[in-house]
Structure 1
Amino acid sequence: MEWVGDARLAAGPEATWYLDAAFTHGAHLGAVYDDPTTPIVVTGVEELTTIRVPSGRLVVDAPWDDDDVWRYGKGLPTRPPRELAVSIPPGVYRVEIAWAAGPYEFFGERFDGVECAATRLCISDDPVVGWEIGLGVNEDADQLQPGDEPRFFSDANVGCFADAGAWTTLSAPFRTFADGIPVPRDTERLADGCERVRDEAQQADLVTFVAESGGVVWLGRTAAGDVAAIVVTSGMAGAKA
């Protein structure tokens, strides 16, 4: 029997179009701001790294925020992360970034305008037949209003995928500071704006990615209803075709 999604969570036509196009090389995602003649074009899909999720419970959130740093410095508990309500099979998964370019000119200088169009956690290679909002464990579909897209927020424009069972250890490097000033983190640098933290005791990872002001989490479902992909959109995701 083919999967039938919850209409309250289903992606609308514009979001569906963007999610289907973002990881397609050469696809047009809209036009450069204030220049409708210059398209924003998907230039490539990069496999950033892999991530271990042994618990099958996934956090998709900012690895820290300003309030967390203040609480941590005072010895107070930090807020719980935004763990997804859906679980995935324990395993090792690819993290991919879709890059898009929209060249523009600023004060006479040309820029390539390359940005992250979306970030994807690949659960399987099965075809996605529909997209829906990825709710957090404490979020209720009954509370959604038409057009609502629950999201995580990030003061530092950083998001992450992380194993929820190892969250305390994995997120700790992002809350290290002296006299209120962050100090260099003991993390592995993967690419510009992307880092990885490993917890070898639990065989679990955290991987960061660029997320302008945070992001909306989408679940790509197969015909059988299984989650094949988890995608985060932010920033240029508001582009119009």
Structure 2
Amino acid sequence: MKWVGDARLAAGPEAAWYLEAAFTPGAYLGTVYDDPTTPIVVTEIEEVTTMRIPSGRLVVDAPFVDDDVSRYEQGLPTRPSRELAVRIPPGVYRVEIAWTAGPYEFFGEHFDGVECAATRLCISDDPVIGWEMGLGVEDDVDRLQPGEEPRFYSDANIGCFADAGAWTTLSAPFRTFKDGIPVPRETERLPGWCERVRDESQLADLVMFTAESGGVVWLGRTKTGEVAKIVVTSGMPGSKA
């Protein structure tokens, strides 16, 4: 039986187009701000790393937000992570970034305009036939208001994929502060301004990536309803556009 999603979570035409185009090298995504003559083009899909998710439970969230700082220093509970309601098979998965370029000039200086258009976790290579917003375990689809988009928020313009079962250990390097200032963290530096944290006791990983102000988490479903891709975009259109 072919998968039929919940219309309340379905990506609108513009969002669905963007989610496909962002991972198509050579695709045209628009024009540079204030310069309609210069296109923004997808230049590369880069495999940043692979990551282990042994629990099959996935957090897609910021590793920390500003409100966590004082609470963490005082030994108070911080906000819970945004774990997705959907489950995936335990395994090792690719993390990929879609890069775009839109050259521009600013005060006489020229820039290449290279930006991250989207980051995705590749669960399988099966074709995606539809996109929907990914709910968190605390979200209730029946309480969504028309046009509302469940999402995560990020003060530092970062997000991450992480194994939910090892979240406390994996997020710890991002939650260490002194006098309200982050202590330099011991993480593995990856291409594309990404970072990775490993928990060898649970064979689980966290991969941090760029995410402007956070964002909607998108699930790419196959014809049988299985999740093939999980995507977070930067500056993309809304789901009902």
In the superposition, the TM-score normalised over structure 1's length comes to 0.96
Alignment correspondent of 2:143: 143
Equivalents in 2 of 1:143, 1:30: separation in Å? 34
Shift of 1:234: 2.0
Instruction: Report the alpha carbon displacement of residue 117 of structure 1 after superposing the two structures with TM.
Output: 0.3
* 2:48–2:192 CA contact under 8 A, matched in 1: no
Q: CA deviation at 1:64?
A: 0.5
Q: 1:119 corresponds to which residue?
A: 119
User: Does 1:100 find its partner at 2:100?
Assistant: yes
1:7 counterpart SS class: coil
Offset, 1:215: 1.5
Partner of 2:175: 175
Q: Is the counterpart of residue 51 in structure 1 residue 68 in structure 2?
A: no
Q: What is the deviation of 1:55?
A: 0.4
Over the aligned positions, Cα root-mean-square deviation in angstroms equals 1.1
Spell out structure 1 runs of 4+ moving beyond 3 A: none
**Partner deviation per Cα, 1:54-74 (whole Å, 9 max, x = no partner):** 000000000001111211100
- Cross-structure match for 1:129: 129
Percent identical pairs in the alignment equals: 81
Structural mapping, 1:147-166, within 5 Å:
147-166=147-166
Inter-partner Cα distance in structure 1 for 2:139 and 2:30: 31
Instruction: Find the aligned partners of 2:119 and 2:9 in 1 and give their Cα distance.
Output: 20
SS in 1 for 2:171: helix
Q: Structure 2 stretches of 5 or more lacking a match?
A: none
Take 1:123 and 1:157, find their aligned partners in 2: how far apart are those partners?
A: 24
Equivalent position of 1:17 in the other structure: 17
The Cα shift of 1:192 comes to: 4.2
Unmatched 5+ residue regions in structure 1? none
User: Counterpart of 2:216 in 1: which secondary structure?
Assistant: strand
TM-score, structure 2 length as denominator? 0.96
- Structure 2 distance, partners of 1:148, 1:129, is 23
Contact 1:216 1:234 in 2 (8 A): no
Residue in structure 2 matched with residue 70 of structure 1 by the alignment: 70
Change (3 A) 1:39 1:45: same
1:30 and 1:142 mapped to 2: Cα distance? Answer: 35
